[in-house]
């Protein structure tokens, strides 16, 4: 299994490759696209300028550095585009085809057809935004030229294994770290990136300084209940509508008790607040991922500070080496994962799992 790391700066490629990343992904949100469609209408599924490379020159440099390090680099083009955007999209593709990227990550079926018309001869990876829920939908995209599927992260391990077993005609990739959205990515209709327009540089500065990550790191050191209450009460201006403190009112059906409804409400409300920005970890799932034939482990967080990205890659690289070189039972491996997590991040994982046993 390879580690797929995000970047938002060409200078990150070399240190991340040295830390153990063999694959990279990045988006480009250049001035021309942003002026025409704003960052909210991003060409990829990251609506923040700080999450993206700012030019195709930077992309070209990042690709060359990745290849020099023996790694690959994939470009994200995984938005769902309007008919009016396709003319601008094709102009971007003309620039992209001059750069030796190893693959594009897409979600829009129309883009698949466009790539075919433009004689695209590199790999095509289907984003989680493509809502691939079974082997039949994977086959549909495969027949249109896709070579890899990113399994949606709302699935649990049993569902991932069952799906992966039947998708023996494509490479399979799974999320493993950070931003564990509990909703279905491809069905997301929440607005993201609006505050960048409203507050401009005053909003981007905290992200550039890594202050948002520092705040979330502080939350992790607190008890679970306290973290959730603080996150829902704070007045920080979130840039994602899904991180607003929505109230949830469950309807009791069937044999549900009042206590079960209360727990369900607390769980759902914890997903609608800054607290859901805490970085879940899927390291304990690596043995199951390996058995399922997953070839790539995707770290989320293009906007994260470089030191955070390096730390994530090093931790996962350590756990992959332990998995490949030591004969441990499932429980022994989980203990090792939690021990190393504590050593690397300075706090317990607190069972903040990407793939909890009950989901």
Q: Which of 249, 269, 272, 270 is nearest to 261 (CA)?
A: 249
Per-residue pLDDT tens, the chain, 359 aa: give them: 999 999 999 999 999 999 999 999 999 999 999 999 999 899 998 888 889 999 999 999 999 999 999 999 999 999 999 999 999 999 999 999 999 999 999 999 999 999 999 999 999 999 999 999 999 999 999 999 999 999 998 888 999 999 999 999 999 999 999 887 767 888 887 778 888 888 777 777 777 777 777 777 787 788 877 877 787 777 566 667 777 788 888 888 888 888 888 888 887 777 777 666 677 899 999 999 999 999 999 999 998 889 999 999 999 999 999 999 989 998 999 999 999 999 998 888 877 788 877 54
**Same structural domain for residues 161 and 12?**
yes
Q: Give residue 229's domain range.
A: 194-275
Q: What pLDDT shows up at residue 237?
A: 62
Distances (CA, A) of 267 to 41, 184, 247, 261, 346: 31, 16, 11, 10, 25
**Same structural domain for residues 91 and 230?**
no
- Strand-pair category, 23-26 with 123-126: unpaired
Domain boundary among 240, 257, 275: 275
Strands (DSSP E) along 153-295, which ranges? 171-177
Distances (CA, A) of 324 to 117, 222, 269, 327: 42, 34, 38, 8
**Same structural domain for residues 210 and 296?**
no
Token pair for residue 202?
A: 């005053």
**Same structural domain for residues 233 and 162?**
no
**Same structural domain for residues 76 and 10?**
yes
Q: Do the domain assignments include residue 353?
A: no
Q: Do the domain assignments include residue 187?
A: no
pTM of the model: 0.90
Overall number of domains in the chain: 2
**Same structural domain for residues 167 and 198?**
no
**Same structural domain for residues 129 and 259?**
no
**Same structural domain for residues 169 and 204?**
no
Angle at alpha carbon of residue 180, lines to 176 and 182, rounded to 5° = 130
**Same structural domain for residues 161 and 216?**
no
Q: What pLDDT shows up at residue 270?
A: 72
């Amino acid at each position: 299994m390879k580690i797929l790391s995000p970047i938002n700066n060409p200078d990150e490629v070399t240190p991340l490759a040295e830390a153990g990343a063999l694959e990279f992904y990045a988006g480009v949100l250049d001035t021309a696209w942003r002026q025409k469609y704003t960052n909210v209408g991003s060409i990829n599924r990251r609506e923040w300028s700080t999450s993206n490379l700012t030019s195709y020159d930077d992309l070209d440099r990042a690709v060359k550095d990745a290849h020099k390090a023996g790694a690959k680099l994939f470009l994200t083009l995984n938005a769902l585009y309007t008919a009016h955007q396709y003319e601008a999209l094709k102009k971007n593709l003309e620039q992209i085809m001059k750069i030796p990227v190893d693959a594009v990550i897409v979600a829009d079926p129309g883009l698949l057809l466009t790539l075919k018309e433009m004689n695209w001869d590199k790999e095509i990876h289907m984003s989680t935004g493509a809502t691939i829920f079974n082997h039949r939908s994977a086959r549909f995209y495969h027949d249109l030229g896709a070579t890899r599927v990113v399994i949606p992260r709302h699935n649990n391990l049993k569902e991932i294994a069952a799906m992966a077993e039947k998708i023996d005609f494509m490479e399979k990739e799974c999320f493993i770290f950070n931003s564990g959205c509990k909703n279905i990515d491809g069905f997301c209709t929440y607005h993201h990136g609006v505050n960048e327009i409203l507050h401009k540089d005053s909003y981007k500065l905290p992200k550039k300084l890594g202050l948002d990550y520092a705040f979330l790191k502080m939350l992790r050191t607190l008890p679970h209940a306290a973290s959730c209450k603080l996150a829902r009460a704070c007045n920080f201006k979130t840039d994602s509508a899904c991180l607003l403190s929505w109230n949830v009112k469950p309807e009791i059906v069937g044999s549900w008790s009042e206590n079960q409804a209360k727990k369900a409400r607390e769980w759902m409300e914890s997903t609608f607040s800054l607290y859901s920005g805490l970085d879940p970890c899927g390291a304990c799932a690596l043995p199951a991922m390996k058995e399922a034939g997953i070839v790539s482990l995707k770290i989320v967080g293009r906007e994260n500070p470089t030191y955070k990205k390096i730390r994530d890659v090093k931790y996962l690289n350590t756990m992959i080496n332990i998995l490949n070189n030591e004969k441990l039972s499932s429980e022994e491996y989980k203990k090792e994962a939690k021990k190393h997590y504590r050593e690397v991040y300075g706090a317990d994982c607190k069972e903040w799992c990407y793939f909890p046993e009950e989901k």
